[in-house]
Amino acid sequence: MKVELTVNGELVAADVEDRMLLVHYLRDVAGLTATNVGCDTTSCGACTVLLDGESVKSCTLLAAQADGASVITVEGLADADGTLHPVQQAFREQHGLQCGFCTPGMVMAIVSLLRENPHPTEEQVRSGLEGNLCRCTGYHNIVKAALAVGRLSGQESTAAENGSAL
């Protein structure tokens, strides 16, 4: 079937198998490979993207279900001039990533979390990340990164997060 998505502000359209998962649409059709597959059971969160502004696990969504929606992946977060999104910046400053495999999903989960709760406590960050596994960092610096962004006052959500064009 034909599936049309706005991915990071750009229209992508393709005829795909009815059963194609959104994550494969993003990786194989849109060519955006930052979003990873880490499990088969909706457990690890490596495939997390924003669908119409909210975090979802793109391995547990048919591309067809997302037809017509706006998707933001980690590739769509930074400004066109390369300026990192505050969450990306905080990950770098706090050493919130090691091998980088869980990172795109983890960053998108935190972007969504902070939109819903801009100034979370450590406990809220930790429970907000219950669906994202990391095997390298022990979560310590990931949590620090999320808290660091949460402490920045007056953080506005960016155009990208809202699903609009960059």
Work out whether 1 is an interface residue with other proteins (CB under 8 A): yes
Burial class (CB in 10 A: 0-12, 13-18, 19+), 9: middle
Enumerate residues 87-146 that contact other proteins by CB under 8 A. Answer: 88, 91-93, 95, 97-104, 107, 109, 112-113, 116, 122, 125-144
Enumerate residues 60-79 that contact other proteins by CB under 8 A. Answer: 60-62, 64-65, 67, 74-75, 77-78
Residue type (1 letter), 6: T
Q: Which residues contact 152 (CB under 8 A, 6 or more apart)?
A: 86
Place of tokens 């095997």: 135
Please state whether 154 falls in left (phi above 0), alpha (psi between -120 and 50) or beta: left
Q: CB-wise, 35 or 70, nearer to other proteins?
A: 35
Site string for other proteins, 145-164 (x = CB under 8 A): --------------------
- Min separation Cβ 77 and other proteins, Å: 8
Enumerate residues 2-31 that contact other proteins by CB under 8 A. Answer: 17-21, 24, 27, 31
122 strand-pairing partners:
none
Residue type (1 letter), 47: C
- Min separation Cβ 11 and other proteins, Å: 20
